[in-house]
Chain A
Amino acid sequence: MRARSRDDFRHLLLLLPAGIVFAAFFLVPLGQLFLIGGSGKSGYAGYADILVHPKYLRSLVSTLALAAATTVATLLLSTTAGLFLVRNAFPGRALLVAMLTLPLAFPGVVIGFMVIMLAGRQGLIGDVTQALTGEKLVFAYSMAGLFMGYVYFSVPRTVLTIMASAEKLDPRLEEAARSLGASRLRVLADVILPGLKPALLAAGAICFATAMGAFGTAFTLATRIDVLPMTIYTEFTLQANIAVAAALSFVLGAVTWAALALARTASGATVAAAG
């Protein structure tokens, strides 16, 4: 066992720095957060109160609904575009791919500003609707604007995931299905979408988790949008209600982490979110 234990020791040593930083600055603080979440007036029942208190419950439900809507919309848009780009070769395709994936990793605040550029008071959509109908459409500073921002944020990453997965699909499966007489729609439903399922699950989970937990976009658009991260922020800074903010954060973290873990188990693929 000499060589083995030498390897073990070496590996432990190499893992140690990351482990220490991670434990000291993530695990311990998260534990602390949990404790503080239970330090409010009602103790650990404070966690249950979140689900009973209409204000927090409303916030939680609307955040879940927003995240779900974002996920569905993003998957629909990205799958359509991603499949099209993988299955067709035409001049300008590379440029189109570059355009679709450029905003990857734009931070939430900037995306909030992009939404303002589109649907804000001086936005392009407002200009267009005013020219067409005489009425200026402005929805940036509402739930609809936030929805648009989250879709904007998630499309690049999702398109990439779906394209990577679609490129790996075995074209012979599709050829086999067609040789058996399947129409294009049937091929899509029976061969292509099932083949993309792991990617859809993975990308969908990331979408959901980011829409649940993102903060920058909502912050840029308006402080009054009633989503969980904004509620946490207000509780913490304006009300100085640290126990509630901690409990809400902990619940939020648990929900997003569970969504990703669930998707990973279901898809067998590796899933990671981005802020």
Chain B
Amino acid sequence: MTEVARSVAIKLRSCSKTFPDGTKALQPLDLDVGAGETLVILGPSGCGKTTTLRIIAGLDEPDPGGKVLFDGEDVTPVPIERRDVGIVFQSYALFPNMSVRENVAYGLRVRRRPAAEQRSRADEMLAMMRIEALADRRIDQLSGGQRQRVALARALAIRPRALLLDEPLTALDAKLRETLRVEIDGLLRRVGITAIYVTHDQAEAMALGDRIVVMEHGRVAQIGSPREIYRAPKSRFVADFIGTMNKLPGRAEAGRFVTAAGSIPWSREAGAAEAAFRPEDARIVPAGPDALRATVTTSFFLGDRTRLVLDVAGTAVTVDSSERAAWTRGEAVHLAVPPQALIDLGDRA
């Protein structure tokens, strides 16, 4: 295994960002990224995720008072060209006036390393990305996926202290995105570099992140492992942004959740409530005391499962079932949700 990177722990301390026009892109943010960790910053456009990445990279500076620390060293005043971070841009930013190999060697060239070293390092990186054959191509002769690999090779060639990826797969089609996601995941694990990956795609975030930071309106909405974010979203925003979440209005009383369509067990403080649950956690069951009455609105056969949209006392509820049964529209069914799968998103908004 070739030595690829030095990994640092990255800390942000009260980093906020106000644009010249007065827009507050980022509220004061504290963030800790462990050495070698892959942290995914997830959120809709305009949530501040790219701004955060640009502050870490040194492309933007935080408002006065904010600090960026690499292994405890304050790098806030260090400009990007001396910060030693590899960046993969959404548009790749490959230099059209250079060949693939020249692009990959560029970081060493500006560091005035010997030509032989430039070449061997570039070839080593190209081999790692399995694109040796493309070394002498021009950039405009490459496909999107190939450009992506060149961009990764170029960013890693300088042995960066961290790798920053800004929506690197957004410009690609769905199938390629899937392939490259797996590849990037493998690469990051193998290289063991501290990586910060910005995306708006929750599937990418789930697959790649050791931890995920979900951002909204310039604030962190939640930080946690993919499992925590999915299973225990702390807010309505996180619940909605990641996966599909059903939300059923009703009342909690005496250890049960009561709706107009019947009641199910749920121990929660009494009062008006909204029960949230994932489609795969609900099951279609025979009629019984712990099941809700529902009517089938639509059913989509998806091969490995069937996705049902049910009407539960006027609320649309999505349920995934892997049973080999067929449902027809208008059919009356019963729905059970185990109490441990119910999520409390707080009182109804």
Interface residues of A (CB under 8 A from B): 1-4, 6
Contact = CB atoms under 8 A, between A and B. Distances in A.
The 10 closest A-B pairs by CB, nearest first: A3-B61, A3-B79, A2-B77, A2-B61, A1-B61, A4-B61, A1-B64, A3-B58, A6-B79, A3-B60
Interface string B69-81: 0000000010100
Interface string B255-282: 0000000000000000000000000000
10 contacts: A1-B61, A1-B64, A2-B61, A2-B77, A3-B58, A3-B60, A3-B61, A3-B79, A4-B61, A6-B79
Interface residues of B, number: 6
A1 B76 CA distance: 11
A124 B58 CA distance: 70
A23 to B, nearest CB: 26
Contacts of A3: 58, 60-61, 79
A2 B79 CA distance: 9
- Please indicate which of the listed interface residues A2, A3, A6 has the most CB atoms of chain B within 10 Å of its own CB: A3
Contacts of B58: 3
Contacts of B60: 3
A6 B64 CA distance: 16
Nearest to A4: B61
A1 B77 CA distance: 10
A154 B114 CA distance: 56
A2 B58 CA distance: 11
Contacts of A4: 61
A8 to B, nearest CB: 11
A2 B62 CA distance: 10
Nearest to B61: A3
A3 B60 CA distance: 8
Given A1-B64, A3-B58, 8 more contacts: A1-B61, A2-B61, A2-B77, A3-B60, A3-B61, A3-B79, A4-B61, A6-B79
A1 B64 CA distance: 8
A212 B79 CA distance: 52
Nearest to B58: A3
B342 to A, nearest CB: 49
B155 to A, nearest CB: 21
Contacts of A1: 61, 64
Nearest to B80: A3
Nearest to B63: A1
Contacts of A6: 79
Contacts of B77: 2
Interface string B51-68: 000000010110010000
A121 to B, nearest CB: 56
A4 B77 CA distance: 12
Contacts of B61: 1-4
A184 to B, nearest CB: 38
Nearest to A3: B61
Contacts of B64: 1
Contacts of B79: 3, 6
B305 to A, nearest CB: 40
A32 to B, nearest CB: 37
A3 to B, nearest CB: 5
A236 B60 CA distance: 57
A98 B58 CA distance: 50
B81 to A, nearest CB: 11
Nearest to B77: A2
A3 B54 CA distance: 13
A1 B66 CA distance: 12
A9 to B, nearest CB: 13
A53 to B, nearest CB: 51
A3 B61 CA distance: 7
B216 to A, nearest CB: 27
A3 B59 CA distance: 9
Contacts of A2: 61, 77
B68 to A, nearest CB: 12
Nearest to A6: B79
Interface in B288-310: none
A4 B79 CA distance: 11
B208 to A, nearest CB: 30
